[in-house]
């Protein structure tokens, strides 16, 4: 197990901050010298993985798109960066679309409809500020704004997220962020579980990934950096709750049961395999696998968690760190306000982890050929819904819901190490 | 998924052994197979005029390259034994030479003529096992 240099690794790679407020700034670098000036100024603000004794009021992390690295003078095609990063989220999401390689970014989710400059070559840096409260976020914003002005880089806009409901509850009602990988060599997570430890190199470049395969970093930053998919995902909360009620009436279920079957957990996080008929606060949230639920009766194979993290049903090569949180105010029916989920999905191989999960499991037939992920999948006329569940031994097949989650923005990012950041500024 | 496009796909891989190597069955009962593999079998084409040639036929779910990666994961020891016996075989160990392996399979795979028939076009291995 490698001894990780925690002061070299960006903090949100190995730990979830649990700061409830975040702001992701989209930044354009008009010329290399302005960009380098900004990187020099912001580097001392970047939160590393070093343990803290007192939780800081704000944390800050930085991500570069391929256009951003290019604007800083990096020859992106010849620096040992991964192919999918060099091609970028737009090309990967559109060029490779076929039955087996669908990232879901089409129709209303197409890059042409994205916000904040995402989907164009203008977004160079995504700077993420995490804060304990809204005041601290505004204060951090002032600091960052003056750094941007004096360096001469341009802010294209920002995306907030607010964990206003507490316990990482997303607008579809679920307690989120329960299961995160245990990374070899990283400080243990606050809430322990019995899930396997995943090789360091699955999340940090410059170390061995699963099967002892070395995962190399780019030439300008050989170790301790990593990649992410930044996503802004709009959730159609009205349609979701309307469907839960409609399906409950139509199939003789309860709305809570439909909600639980779609996810694989009850809204409070109780795993269906441990408590199939009711939420149970006494069961552990993440000590389970699917070995006792095959054929699947408690937790549908098509449910979100069973298909996106397969536990005993696959190896540890397709895991993701989810650093995302809800945006938009607490749900009020039909108020017309947009709500969703935004943040970084971190991994050392976008192809083997983020893209694999999205194309093979969420939108593909790698887990079930019947239909896509009911919560996250790109469900449309070409890929209609078909969700099978068992409730109290009766089988129902739900075939009348639409796409609940659409893409509002995306970018493939490189998250440099601290020394990589210093390299980028010279 | 529309019923017209099955989630299952065929692979028909021609493997020619080096001189002196004996045809072996590539499908070992002991091997672990990925849960996207429906069927796999081999036949010898020696008495059909193709000496030292084996046809490996499989039916799998979804994407070709993903399937090969999963096959490498579950059976790399088997490939490491087999591939050195193969004429123009890719280098081993296969886990460190994935691209060469994919290229070799792609080159020696015989694409089927239309149509690939499936009686249950939307059912993956996992769907069937969870019925």
Question: pLDDT (tens digit, 9 = 90+) per residue, A350-401?
Answer: 999 999 999 999 999 999 999 999 999 999 998 999 999 999 999 999 999 9
Of A100, A368, A369, nearest to B63 by CB-CB distance is: A100
Q: Rounded to the nearest 5°, which phi and psi values hold at A40?
A: -60, -45
Q: What is the pLDDT of residue B26?
A: 64
- DSSP labels for B91-130? PSSGGG-HHHHHHHHHHHB-PPPS----SSTT--HHHHHT
Q: Residue B30: pLDDT above 70?
A: no
Q: Rounded to the nearest 5°, which phi and psi values hold at A271?
A: -70, 135
The strand pairing partners of A233, in sequence order, are A341, A407
Flag if A315 and B73 touch (Cβ within 8 Å).
yes
**Number of other residues whose CB lies within 10 A of the CB of residue B94:** 23
- Range A19-48 average pLDDT: 98
Q: What is the pLDDT of residue A100?
A: 81
- DSSP labels for A245-269? HHHHHHHT--HHHHHHHHHTB-TT-
Question: pLDDT (tens digit, 9 = 90+) per residue, A59-97?
Answer: 999 999 999 999 999 999 999 999 999 999 999 998 877
Pairing of strands A394-398, A340-347: unpaired
Which residues 86-125 of A have a C-beta within 8 angstroms of B? 99-101
Residues of chain A neighbouring B64 (CB-CB closer than 8 A): 100
The strand pairing partners of A346, in sequence order, are A228, A321
Q: State how far residue A101 is from chain B, nearest Cα, in angstroms.
A: 8
Question: pLDDT (tens digit, 9 = 90+) per residue, B83-115?
Answer: 999 999 999 999 889 999 999 999 999 999 988
The conformation of residue A190, written as its DSSP 8-state character, comes to S
Cα–Cα distance, A210 to A197 (Å, whole number): 10
Task: Output A189-194 pairs: Cβ under 8 A, ≥24 positions apart.
Answer: A189/A15, A189/A16, A191/A285, A191/A286, A193/A284, A193/A285, A193/A286, A193/A287, A194/A286, A194/A287
Q: Which of A165-174, A222-231, A243-252, A390-399 has the lowest mean pLDDT?
A: A165-174
- Range A206-213 average pLDDT: 92
pLDDT class of B28 with cuts at 50, 70, 90: low
Q: Residue A239: pLDDT above 90?
A: yes
Q: What is the pLDDT of residue B75?
A: 84
Question: pLDDT (tens digit, 9 = 90+) per residue, A282-309?
Answer: 999 999 999 999 999 999 999 999 999 9
* Of A99 and A357, more confident: A357
Q: What is the pLDDT of residue B5?
A: 83
Predicted ipTM beyond 0.90 = no
Share of chain A above pLDDT 70, in %: 99
Of A294, A317, A383, nearest to B1 by CB-CB distance is: A383
pLDDT class of B1 with cuts at 50, 70, 90: very low
Q: Residue A249: pLDDT above 50?
A: yes
Residues of chain A neighbouring B63 (CB-CB closer than 8 A): 100-101, 359-360, 364, 366
Q: What is the pLDDT of residue A99?
A: 64
pLDDT class of B29 with cuts at 50, 70, 90: low
Among B69, B94, B125, B126, pick the best mutation site for testing chain A contact (most A Cβ within 10 A).
B126
**Statement: the pTM of the whole predicted model exceeds 0.90:** yes
Q: What is the pLDDT of residue B2?
A: 45
Of A100, A314, A315, nearest to B62 by CB-CB distance is: A100
Pairing of strands A197-198, A182-183: parallel
Report yes or no: A189 and A179 within 8 Å, Cβ to Cβ. no
Of B95, B127, B129, nearest to A369 by CB-CB distance is: B127
* Of A174 and B70, more confident: A174
pLDDT class of A190 with cuts at 50, 70, 90: confident
What average pLDDT does the structure give for chain A? 96
Flag if B62 and A294 touch (Cβ within 8 Å).
no
Flag if A301 and B61 touch (Cβ within 8 Å).
no
- Range A254-273 average pLDDT: 98
Report yes or no: A58 and A137 within 8 Å, Cβ to Cβ. yes
Dihedral sign for Cα atoms in the order B26, B31, B34, B38: positive
């Amino acid at each position: 197990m490698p001894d990780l240099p925690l002061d070299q690794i960006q903090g949100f790679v190995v730990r979830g901050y649990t700061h409830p407020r975040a702001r992701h700034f989209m930044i354009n670098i008009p010329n290399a010298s302005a960009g380098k000036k900004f990187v020099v100024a912001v580097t001392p603000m970047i939160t590393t993985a070093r343990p803290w004794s007192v939780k800081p009021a704000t944390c800050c992390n930085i991500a570069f798109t391929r256009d951003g690295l290019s604007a800083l003078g990096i020859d992106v095609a010849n620096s040992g960066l991964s192919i999918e990063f060099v091609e970028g989220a737009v090309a990967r999401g559109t060029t490779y679309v076929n039955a087996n390689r669908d990232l879901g970014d089409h129709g209303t989710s197409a890059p042409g409809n994205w916000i904040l400059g995402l989907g164009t070559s203008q977004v160079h840096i995504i700077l993420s500020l995490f804060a304990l409260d809204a005041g601290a976020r505004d204060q951090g914003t002032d600091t960052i704004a003056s750094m941007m002005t004096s360096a001469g880089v341009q802010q294209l806009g920002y995306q907030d997220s607010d964990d206003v409901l507490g316990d990482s509850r997303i607008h579809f009602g679920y307690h989120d962020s329960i299961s995160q990988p245990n990374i070899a060599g990283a400080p243990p997570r606050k809430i322990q579980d019995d899930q396997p430890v995943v090789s360091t190199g699955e999340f940090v470049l410059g170390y061995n990934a699963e099967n002892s395969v070395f995962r190399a970093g780019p030439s300008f930053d050989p170790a301790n950096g990593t990649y992410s998919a930044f996503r802004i995902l709009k959730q159609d909360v009205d349609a979701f709750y309307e469907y839960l009620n409609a399906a409950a009436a139509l199939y003789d279920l309860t709305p809570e049961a439909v909600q639980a079957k779609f996810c694989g957990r009850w809204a409070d996080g109780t795993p269906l395999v441990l408590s199939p008929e009711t939420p149970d606060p006494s069961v552990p949230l993440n000590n389970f696998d699917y070995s006792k639920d095959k054929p699947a009766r408690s937790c549908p194979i098509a449910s979100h968690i069973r298909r996106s993290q397969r536990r005993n049903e696959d190896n540890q090569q397709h895991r993701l760190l989810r650093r995302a949180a809800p945006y938009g105010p607490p749900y009020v029916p039909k108020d017309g306000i947009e709500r969703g989920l935004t943040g970084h999905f971190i991994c050392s191989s976008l192809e083997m982890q983020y893209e694999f999960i999205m194309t093979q499991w969420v939108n593909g037939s790698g887990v079930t050929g019947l239909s896509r992920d009911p919560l996250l999948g790109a469900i449309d006329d070409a890929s209609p819904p078909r969700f099978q569940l068992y409730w109290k031994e009766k089988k129902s097949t739900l075939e009348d819901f639409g796409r609940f989650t659409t893409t509002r923005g995306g970018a493939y990012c490189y998250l440099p190490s601290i020394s990589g950041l210093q390299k980028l500024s010279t | 998924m529309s019923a017209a496009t099955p989630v299952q796909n065929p692979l028909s891989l021609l493997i020619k052994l080096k001189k002196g190597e004996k045809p072996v069955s590539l499908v070992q009962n002991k091997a672990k197979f990925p849960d996207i593999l429906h069927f796999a079998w081999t036949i010898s084409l020696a008495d059909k005029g193709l000496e030292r040639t084996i046809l490996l036929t499989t039916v799998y779910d979804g994407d070709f390259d993903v399937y090969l990666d999963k096959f490498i994961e579950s059976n790399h020891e088997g490939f490491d034994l087999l591939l050195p016996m193969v004429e123009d075989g890719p280098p081993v160990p296969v886990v460190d030479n994935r691209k060469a392996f994919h290229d070799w399979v792609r080159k020696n795979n015989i694409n089927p003529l239309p149509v690939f028939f499936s009686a249950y076009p939307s059912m993956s291995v996992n769907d069937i096992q969870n019925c």
